[in-house]
């Protein structure tokens, strides 16, 4: 009796040579990568490497100048409304509508993502509980601390149970306890079969939670490979070589 061959995981996201100019300079060029269901990809790079531009394009907030993005096999640029149900995005610094309370904020996000009525209420209660936002539920988003705003932004990103979670510096301003809970949450999402892209400056964050790492430098992908637990030193070496020299030198 032969053991069944495991099916290769579904490709959730495929970037094909995407590029984007911003403020007169090339922010991202010729970027291609694939992300499978259940995978957590760490996106690294120095400031200005093009991480946030890449994530904004993946999230649908910005259109690439060239290239293709396919989401679950469908052309995302042709059908930007796919972002509505399939992508959850936490932008850098978690912008909020300051006049709305946490609950109103979640409701507004839910409605924008097509949730309504009992489904919306249930989804809202679940993320409030999961992210421990109960004490903040009636508080105005404008008076939350940066760490609390990050948690609210994360709750908004998770509300509609997206297949792809795009997190831009999610651990910013989180205390160590919340940062540890964030790691658990990311692993939970991956275990549930969702794909996660995590952009961060913290190498430890990547080694703790990601199973693959991509390094951007001056808008181009310089490294894309798997990451095993305990690879911190190797990752650090690769990252610094790219950051300083633009390439990884052969050992």
Partner 1 sequence: MSLAAVTRLEWRRLLVRPLAWVLAALTVAWLAWNFTLLLGGFLAGQVQRAAQPDGPGFVDLVGVPLLGQLAQLAFLVVPLLAMSTLAGERRNGTLPLLFAAGVPASRIVLGKYLALLGWLLLWLALALAMPLALAHATHFDWGKLAAATLGLALMLAALAAVGVACSAFASHPALAAAATLMIALALWSVNLGAQLAGVNGGAINWLAMSTHLQPLLRGLVSSADLAWFALLIALALALATRRLDAERERG
> Do the bridges between strand 11-22 and strand 66-71 make them parallel or antiparallel, or are there none, so unpaired?
antiparallel
Nearest-angstrom CA–CA distance, 12 and 133: 29
Total binding residues toward partner 1, as defined by CB under 8 A: 31
62 is an interface residue for partner 1 by CB under 8 A: yes
Contact at 8 Å (CB) between 48 and 201? Answer: no
Q: Candidates 63, 146, 236, 244: give the one binding partner 1 (CB under 8 A).
A: 63
Residue 14 C-alpha from the chain's centroid = 14
137 is an interface residue for partner 1 by CB under 8 A: no
CB of 60 to partner 1, least distance (A): 5
CB of 141 to partner 1, least distance (A): 10
Q: Candidates 11, 61, 208, 248: give the one binding partner 1 (CB under 8 A).
A: 61
221 is an interface residue for partner 1 by CB under 8 A: no
- Which residue's CB is nearer to partner 1, number 89 or number 239? 89
- Which residue's CB is nearer to partner 1, number 56 or number 200? 56
CB of 20 to partner 1, least distance (A): 7
Contacts of residue 31, Cβ cutoff 8 Å, sequence gap at least 6: 15, 17, 18, 19, 50, 54, 67, 216, 219, 220, 221
113 is an interface residue for partner 1 by CB under 8 A: yes
138 is an interface residue for partner 1 by CB under 8 A: no
Q: Candidates 42, 45, 60, 67: give the one binding partner 1 (CB under 8 A).
A: 60
Footprint (CB under 8 A) of partner 1, residues 11-40: 20, 22
Q: Treating both helix axes as pointing N-terminal to C-terminal, what angle do 117-130 and 146-158 enclose, rounded to 10 degrees?
A: 140
- Of 105-113, 143-151, 190-198, 207-215, the segment contacting partner 1 by CB under 8 A is 105-113
- Of 6-14, 39-47, 83-91, 208-216, the segment contacting partner 1 by CB under 8 A is 83-91
109 is an interface residue for partner 1 by CB under 8 A: yes
Contact at 8 Å (CB) between 90 and 146? Answer: no
Alpha carbon distances (Å) from 145 to 80, 126, 148: 32, 22, 5
Q: What number of H helices and E strands is found in the chain?
A: 8, 10
Residues 175-201, buried b or exposed e (16+ Cβ, 10 A)?
eeebbebbbebbbebbeeebbbbbbbe
- Which residue's CB is nearer to partner 1, number 169 or number 231? 169
Beta-bridge partners for 14: 34, 70
104 is an interface residue for partner 1 by CB under 8 A: yes
Which residues form the interface with partner 1 (CB under 8 A)? 20, 22, 53, 56, 59-63, 80-84, 87, 89, 91, 93, 95-100, 104, 108-109, 111-114
């Amino acid at each position: 009796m032969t053991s069944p061959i495991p099916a290769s995981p579904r490709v959730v996201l495929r970037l094909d040579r995407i590029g984007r100019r911003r403020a007169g300079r090339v922010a991202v060029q010729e970027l291609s990568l694939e992300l499978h269901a259940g995978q957590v990809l760490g996106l690294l790079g120095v400031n200005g490497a093009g991480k946030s531009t890449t994530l904004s394009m993946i999230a649908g907030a910005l259109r690439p100048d060239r290239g293709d993005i396919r989401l679950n096999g469908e052309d995302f640029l042709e059908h930007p409304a796919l972002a509505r149900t399939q992508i959850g995005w936490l932008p850098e610094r978690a912008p909020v509508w300051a006049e709305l309370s946490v609950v109103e904020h979640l409701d507004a996000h839910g409605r924008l993502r097509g949730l309504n009525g009992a489904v919306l209420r249930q989804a809202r209660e679940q993320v409030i509980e999961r992210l421990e936002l109960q004490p903040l539920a009636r508080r105005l988003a404008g008076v939350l601390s940066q760490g609390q705003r990050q948690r609210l932004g994360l709750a908004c990103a998770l509300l509609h149970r997206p297949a792809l979670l795009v997190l831009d510096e999610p651990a910013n301003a989180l205390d160590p306890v919340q940062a540890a809970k964030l790691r658990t949450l990311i692993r939970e999402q991956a275990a549930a079969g969702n794909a996660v892209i995590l952009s961060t400056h913290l190498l430890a964050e990547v080694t703790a939670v990601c199973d693959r790492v991509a390094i951007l430098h001056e808008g181009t992908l310089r490294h894309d490979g798997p990451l095993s637990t305990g690879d911190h030193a190797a990752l650090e070496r690769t990252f610094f070589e790219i950051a300083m020299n633009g390439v990884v030198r052969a050992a």
